[in-house]
Amino acid sequence: MLRFFVLIGLVVVIALIVRSQMIPESFGDLGHFRADAVEEAKRFEPRHLGRDVCADCHDDVAALHVKDAHARVECESCHGPGATHVAADGEGGIIRPDGKAPCLVCHQLMPARPSVFAQITPEDHYRFVGVEDPEVDCIACHDPHEPLFMDRDLRTARLHPLIHRCRDCHAGRTDETLVRPPGHPEIFECDYCHADIVDGFAERPHSEVRCTTCHLFFRESDFAGRMLRDSDPRFCLLCHREAEFRSDDAPPGIDWPAHREDMADDTIDLDKRCVDCHQDRIHPLQTRTAVGSEE
Amino acid sequence: MDFVFPNELNVTWTVMIVLYPYITGLVAGAFIVSSLFHVFNKTELKAVARFSLASAFVFLLFAPLPLLMHLGQPQRAFNIMITPNFSSAMAGFGFIYTGYLIVVVMEIWFVMRHSFIAQAQGSGLVAWICRSILIGNLHEDDSTRAADHKMARFLAGLGIPMACLLHGYVGFLFGSLKANPWWSTPLMFVIFIFSAIVSGIAVLIFHYMIVAKLNGWKLDQPCVRSLTRYLWGFMIIAVSLELLEVMSIAYKQTEEWEVLYMLIREKLFIPYVVLQYMVFSLIPFFLLGINSLFNLRDRIANAMVWTAATMLLVQVLLMRWNVVVGGQLVSKSMRGFTDYFPGVWEKEGIAMAVVIFTLPFGILWGFNKIVPLFPDVVARGGTTGEGE
Amino acid sequence: MPHDRNRSRREVLKMLAAGSGLLVFPIGTLTASEPEASAEGAHKPYWAYAVDTTRCIGCCACMRACRDENDVPEGVFRTWVERYRIGMDGEVKVDVATGNDHVFEPVGGEVAKAFFVPKLCNHCEKSVCNQVCPVGAAYQTDDGVVLVDSKQCIGCGYCVQACPYGSRFINPETHMADKCTFCYHRLDKGLAPACVHTCPREARLFGDLNDPKSKLSVLLRQRSYRLLKPELGTHPKCYYLGLDREVI
């Protein structure tokens, strides 16, 4: 019996000695884990490097990018991680988005998307701007680095109280012509404050255009957002540029270079914006004088 | 009701983790039967006392195998003893298992020392093995026999709480997970222990009757009758507890019941409601009840008891399946269920499960070659074990 | 560059504190990633995460970025975006863009309410996964990040079962537990987690709770938020702004 107990005792003692030798180094230094693991976890190289790294080579694109609607979108959100591209001195290793699909990843109309976010279905959008060829890509009109030709930096845009519209809550896109049911809280539609502008709007050629289509609104908190008035000619041309893939009638196409030459012939100031001549087709600009124009 | 968190589409704990508590349950149950004889002097169980101890031992040897098969990094298995994190219920496994294994090995050594010495005489492989087991000490007289007996009794007593711990801890491991509504109940610990005892007694009856039939032995009828009554009693407790668990959730009608009701109605209706309760609990309940309350003719009684025992073996397996797999079918989103059924030839598939479950029986056969597990039967030339 | 950004934020914050009643986040501060703020400071950062569900557009750039940054195999997710569509009859439909490119397809049908909810590891203060790891492979750093030691993990899957949020999984390539690390390898290099970095809508925010001036701390003081499954006592560190009651 003694031999048996000695044997079992020996096995246990050996097991305990082996066990104590096998505890990894640094185990227990910071808690019940291998302290070295923390440093090991930091060792991987980041693959998404950030726009500042991109700007080292692509400063022209970066400069365009920061002042337009995609200002907050990181380069790598669309182009994928840049580490391989940088390591290869700019040879490959980067995604070049192609076709409509990459744009629609964000901008496809979905009820789950916040209604303040710009979203379309290609069919409706193309009908709206008169594009006849469904194969046309988004980049035929929109440069993804400068999608809306905003004429001022988003950061310097005016603060504006939040506009609540029906579909902000009713994301199912209920018909906006529905009357407000009794007892429903007040909704701040644009005409609530800007009735003088909106009054004649329905009779003018832009009656189908939503206010926020041109007056881009960026919600920033529960209370306010940034309101932009875009009047760069290129912004108007997003809809009105004459192109082989779109119909002439709706919206009317303009042969921009020719129009510009005409104006030059008529000795009109080429810094003028479209709205300076065509405001009667949009809405009266009487509430505030347009920036930079002294009528 | 169809949303599953994307990482839950694949079930993490497979049929191997169903098998593990099943096997430890057999260990605990079989060990408790042997202890009923060694500690509580239930002499009618003498016929299966050795057999049950040896069964507990071989099942215990194979209990970690399904775990090793399941581990993603099996070569690191000993981390559980090298750097155990005692805030985790699982960290106890290594120590509880090793401690219990030592107790069972010692118990076998002391209970069977007499037989080992008998077999160690002469030459040949068996004798050599027995001499190594005895570490060369073949001395035996009345005083050593008395000491062995005392030691065996002490170890058998010590083994009962350890068996409960080894198996109950598995129940605790499930029952203590607050993330899973199907598992999270303190009853789990107790349910596992009682179902373990049921499966342990059932496997002894199942195996004993088959061995007896194959060898043409007459069954030790008082022993069988005693086992039958134990099995009936313990299965009533086990099934009551299992029902109590689900009934209390159902009656409380808490938020989680909505998803668990769907689980029982849709996903587990066949294995849980129909098979575990209606078929494999109810039928053995009646079969064993009849045999516990009435004296039937041996032939009929034995057939009924064997059927009941076999069915209860399946019942406990189903219970393990419904707990382990069932709990993982419910998404933690509480909005849907995933699916799982093991493939046959996978690393953690059915074939492997069958192999792992069959191996202990083979080892038991080998064990019997070294030391006879039914000494009384063999000693009488295979006639009978009557008149103990 | 980081220094400039910090300075500008501080100035703006001072300005705000000086009495401007307007509760508005200057855009410049929102674009800044947080980590560098504390790397320079003397105090220890304590990282946390916020998700503004009212901003998420479900583009899943975060999922793609996470996959690319951390080599996450197909079929398992360190982060994901759930789409909830609640019908007029109150029926809730939820799905996840689990495909190869992680892109949501538009689906028809009228909805009363619909929104996206990004999910990831909550890096709980009292994380269950740490508690249940039998070998000390799951741990929490002193800056509040829950990590897995890939040299210690045995791949038992207990942590996967214990996590109430489905954030952990067994990596099919390494056969070990895996999860969101808050991109721990980026933090000390002054970079935000890849998902925060690539989110075009700043629906995902990351920052230092120990710094009362951090974007995250300010945000949590100003807006109401919810935690996921707070009743489980895990003390999650992902704060959900504007979260609907249907989300668990």
- Lowest mean pLDDT of A56-60, A224-228, B206-210, name the range: A224-228
Domain count of chain B? 1
Q: Which tokens belong to A22?
A: 């096998």
The tens digit of pLDDT for each residue in B117-139 reads 988 888 888 888 888 888 888 88
CA distances from A18 to A166, A185, B79, B365, C108 (A): 72, 74, 12, 34, 64
The verdict on A7 touching B (C-beta cutoff 8 Å) is yes
- Lowest mean pLDDT of A36-40, A137-141, C25-29, C152-156, name the range: C25-29
CA distances from C102 to A11, A74, B377, B383, C79 (A): 55, 18, 69, 72, 11
Say if B378 falls within a structural domain: no
Interface mutation target, options A4, A27, A33, chain B, most CBs of B under 10 Å: A4
Helical spans, DSSP H, in chain C: 2-17, 27-31, 36-39, 61-70, 128-132, 158-162, 184-187, 194-198, 215-222
Q: In degrees rounded to 5, what are phi and psi of residue B26?
A: -60, -40
The verdict on A41 touching B (C-beta cutoff 8 Å) is no
Say if B119 falls within a structural domain: yes
CB-based burial, B184-195: b 16+ in 10 Å, e otherwise: bbeebbbbbbbb
3-class secondary structure for A175-219? CCCCCCCCCCCCCCCHHHCCHHHHCCHHHCCCCCCCHHHHCCEEE
Pick from A24, A72, A77: CB nearest C61: A77
Kindly report the nearest CA distance between residue B93 and chain C, in angstroms: 9
> Strands C146-148 and C138-140: what pairing?
antiparallel
Reduced to 3 states (helix: H, G, I; strand: E, B; else coil), residue A279 is helix
What is the domain-level CATH number for residue B191?
1.20.1630.10
**Per-residue pLDDT, A178:** 60
CB-based burial, C20-45: b 16+ in 10 Å, e otherwise: eeeebbbbebebbbbbbbbeeeeeeb
The tens digit of pLDDT for each residue in A162-194 reads 777 666 666 555 555 566 667 776 667 777 788
Distance CA B6, CA A295 (A): 61
ipTM: 0.91
**Which residues of chain A make contact with C68, given a CB cutoff of 8 A?**
47-48, 80-81
**Which residues of chain B make contact with C153, given a CB cutoff of 8 A?**
72-73, 76
Q: Which tokens belong to B65?
A: 């195998």
Chains near C, with 3+ CB pairs < 8 A?
A, B
The tens digit of pLDDT for each residue in A270-294 reads 777 788 888 888 887 654 444 444 3
Pick from A1, A8, A24: CB nearest B102: A8
The model's confidence at residue B32, banded by pLDDT at 50, 70 and 90, is: very high
**Per-residue pLDDT, B363:** 94
Beta-carbon separation of C198 and A220 below 8 A: no
- Give residue for tokens 């950061």: A155
- Lowest mean pLDDT of A113-122, A198-207, A234-243, C93-102, name the range: A198-207
% of chain A beyond a pLDDT of 70: 86
**Per-residue pLDDT, C128:** 95
The number of residues in chain C equals 248
Residue C32 pLDDT more than 50?
Answer: no
Helix and strand numbers (H, E) in chain C are 9, 11
Mean of the pLDDT values across residues B160-170? 90
* Residue spans per domain, chain A: 47-96, 154-281
Domain count of chain C? 1
Interface mutation target, options A29, A32, A33, A51, chain C, most CBs of C under 10 Å: A33
The verdict on B86 touching C (C-beta cutoff 8 Å) is no
**Which residues of chain B make contact with C232, given a CB cutoff of 8 A?**
178-179
- Whether residue B234 contacts residue B342, with contact meaning beta carbons closer than 8 Å, is answered with no
Say if C1 falls within a structural domain: no
What is the domain-level CATH number for residue C58?
3.30.70.20
Sort A79 into a burial class: Cβ within 10 Å, 0-12 / 13-18 / 19+. middle
- Whether residue B327 contacts residue B183, with contact meaning beta carbons closer than 8 Å, is answered with yes
% of chain B beyond a pLDDT of 90: 80
Average pLDDT of the residues of chain B: 91
- For residue C6, the one-letter residue type is N
CA distances from C105 to A108, A280, B261, C52, C59 (A): 9, 41, 32, 22, 10
Average pLDDT of the residues of chain C: 85
Range of the domain at B188: 6-371
Distance CA B53, CA B73 (A): 32
- For residue A127, the one-letter residue type is R
Query: What letter does residue A69 receive in the DSSP assignment?
Result: T
- Lowest mean pLDDT of C83-87, C108-112, C187-191, name the range: C108-112
- Whether residue B223 contacts residue B376, with contact meaning beta carbons closer than 8 Å, is answered with no
Terminal Cα-to-Cα distance of chain C (whole angstroms): 39
Reduced to 3 states (helix: H, G, I; strand: E, B; else coil), residue C220 is helix
The model's confidence at residue A196, banded by pLDDT at 50, 70 and 90, is: confident
Q: Which 181-240 residues of chain C touch chain B by CB within 8 A?
A: 232-233
A161: β partners: A224
B233's CB contacts (< 8 A; 6+ apart) are none
Q: Which tokens belong to C160?
A: 């996967």
Beta-carbon separation of B82 and A22 below 8 A: yes
Say if C14 falls within a structural domain: no
Beta-carbon separation of C136 and A27 below 8 A: yes
Neighbours of A42 (CB within 10 A): 14
Residue B245 pLDDT more than 50?
Answer: yes
Kindly report the nearest CA distance between residue B140 and chain A, in angstroms: 11
The tens digit of pLDDT for each residue in C126-174 reads 999 999 999 999 999 999 999 999 999 999 999 999 999 999 999 999 9
Distance CA C31, CA C33 (A): 6
Neighbours of A34 (CB within 10 A): 24
The tens digit of pLDDT for each residue in A11-55 reads 999 999 998 899 999 999 999 999 999 999 999 999 999 999 999
Say if B380 falls within a structural domain: no
The verdict on A47 touching C (C-beta cutoff 8 Å) is yes
Beta-carbon separation of A27 and B83 below 8 A: yes
Distance CA C140, CA C127 (A): 9
Distance of alpha carbon B180 from its chain centroid, rounded?
25
Residue B187 pLDDT more than 50?
Answer: yes
Beta-carbon separation of C57 and A47 below 8 A: no
Residue B58 pLDDT more than 60?
Answer: yes
C208: β partners: C47
The model's confidence at residue A254, banded by pLDDT at 50, 70 and 90, is: confident
Pick from B13, B77, B173: CB nearest C154: B77
Distance CA B45, CA A135 (A): 85
What is the domain class of A47-96 according to CATH? Answer: mainly alpha
Say if B376 falls within a structural domain: no
CA distances from A164 to A84, A115, B107 (A): 45, 10, 79
Neighbours of B370 (CB within 10 A): 17
- Lowest mean pLDDT of A152-156, B182-186, B307-311, C92-96, name the range: A152-156
**Per-residue pLDDT, A161:** 82
Our CA angle for C144, C149, C152, nearest 5°, is 145
The verdict on B13 touching C (C-beta cutoff 8 Å) is yes
Say if B15 falls within a structural domain: yes
Mean of the pLDDT values across residues A76-87? 94
- Taken in order A272, A276, A277, A282, the sign of the CA dihedral is positive
Say if C2 falls within a structural domain: no
Chains near B, with 3+ CB pairs < 8 A?
A, C
* Nearest of B311, B369, B361 to residue B59 by alpha carbon: B361
Reduced to 3 states (helix: H, G, I; strand: E, B; else coil), residue B315 is helix
Q: Which helix (H) or strand (E) holds C81?
A: strand C79-86
Distance CA A67, CA B97 (A): 67
Say if C162 falls within a structural domain: yes
Say if C248 falls within a structural domain: no
Beta-carbon separation of A47 and C184 below 8 A: no
Say if B367 falls within a structural domain: yes
Q: Which tokens belong to B345?
A: 């030839």
The verdict on B146 touching A (C-beta cutoff 8 Å) is no
The model's confidence at residue B271, banded by pLDDT at 50, 70 and 90, is: very high
* Nearest of B237, B39, B5 to residue B154 by alpha carbon: B39
3-class secondary structure for B341-385? CCCCCCCCCHHHHHHHHHHHHHHHHHHHHHCCCCHHHHHCCCCCC
Say if B317 falls within a structural domain: yes
**Which residues of chain A make contact with B85, given a CB cutoff of 8 A?**
32
